[in-house]
Amino acid sequence: EKAGYKHFMAKEIAEQPVVLGDALRHYLKADGVNLPEELNFSDIDRLTLVACGTAFYACSVAKYWFESLAGLPCEIDVASEFRYREPPLPQRSFALFVSQSGETADTLAALRHCKGKVARTIAVVNVPTSSIAREADLALPILAGIEVGVASTKAFTCQLLALAVMALKAGLDRGHLNAAQAAAHMNTLRTLPGLMNAALATSDEIARLAAQLAEAQDILFLGRGPMYPLALEGALKLKEISYIHAEGYASGELKHGPIALIDRSVPVIVMAPHDKLFDKTVSNMQEVMARQGKVLLVTDAKGVSTAAEGTWAHLHMPEVAEPFAPILYALPAQLLAYHTAIAKGTDVDQPRNLAKSVTVE
């Protein structure tokens, strides 16, 4: 069942180029995006995205995409908070629920809370027969295949892909993107399986770095723009399987508090493609280095040539056009968690205290 891999998590990380390719073929056709016509964003003033855990971080990345590609105001929240805070739900809005299992109790309750109040409830799920898929007005599959490892990996990147395609449709529906711009973004998405193969090739190098990361008490992840929620996801993945305390921060927030934690014992993982925000992130990274923090820079060739000097280590990712880098950089984040957990000898597929499907609130 593990197809020669030691753990389901390793298998599921490695499968991503293939499953993402399947999802791409389903959602992108030669003549454009393949999404139901009823999913039309032109008369919508707001999108509310609700989920838990890793699925919430997928929503958090998607907020950047819906805003920048479609000019659509977005609200995101974790399901356990959303339903208790009496959020206004305008009729001219969609509410979108992301869940791998489709059975998460808080997400299901949030969906029930929204039904009938918004124009449409939409589920983005991996299990098409699940409660959340059945109860939503419209259910979209992420097509990741069965995910066994408790730590979500391929479901996360496939959630991101489904949300990216939706953001492109929203951009077209709302006249925020023209056909040529949308086609360019679709071509970027189509490059991802190949780029993911190159990202997976850093696995051995990550395993070597992980031997040292496994000694740390605390590890920070930094990112900016759509890479910020990816920093949160990297920290979640690491803590859930290696039990090392980890936090993700927006790079610019560092100086507002967390920098007090930095000394030579704290590794800081900076997820930063060479995008328009790169220089700002590098200056935050240099603040860490000035305090002897141990920086691991994850970036592309341009990033390596301009900023890798003086870091503890760097990982070289292939170049990917904005704004879809989080889909690619998820892989080194997953591999860092996986190899660090292996170095510590923890049970990566069945971490303590965690269940694959959380059906209690």
Contacts with ligand F6R by CB under 6 A lie at 52-55, 99-101, 104, 107, 151-152, 236, 240, 357-358
- Shortest distance (Å) from residue 45 CB to ligand F6R: 27
Cα separation, 244 vs 341, in Å, equals 9
Comparison of 104 and 340: residue with beta carbon closer to ligand F6R: 104
Do residues 94 and 48 touch, judged by C-beta distance below 8 A?
yes
- Shortest distance (Å) from residue 282 CB to ligand F6R: 29
- Shortest distance (Å) from residue 358 CB to ligand F6R: 5
Comparison of 148 and 308: residue with beta carbon closer to ligand F6R: 148
- Shortest distance (Å) from residue 40 CB to ligand F6R: 26
Question: Which residue of the set 239, 280, 344, 356 is catalytic?
Answer: 356
Comparison of 321 and 358: residue with beta carbon closer to ligand F6R: 358
Count other Cβ atoms within 10 Å, centred on residue 62.
Answer: 28
Do residues 222 and 271 touch, judged by C-beta distance below 8 A?
yes
For the chain, give me the number of helices (H) and strands (E)? 13, 12
Comparison of 53 and 323: residue with beta carbon closer to ligand F6R: 53
Cα separation, 195 vs 332, in Å, equals 12
Comparison of 220 and 238: residue with beta carbon closer to ligand F6R: 238
Please give the residue whose beta carbon sits closest to ligand F6R in the complex.
53
Tokens standing for residue 45: 């003033």
Alpha helices in the chain (DSSP H): 8-14, 16-27, 53-70, 79-82, 105-114, 131-135, 154-173, 179-200, 203-213, 227-242, 278-290, 301-307, 325-344
First to last CA, the chain: 32
Cα separation, 171 vs 47, in Å, equals 13
63 is catalytic: no
- Shortest distance (Å) from residue 161 CB to ligand F6R: 15
Catalytic positions are 356
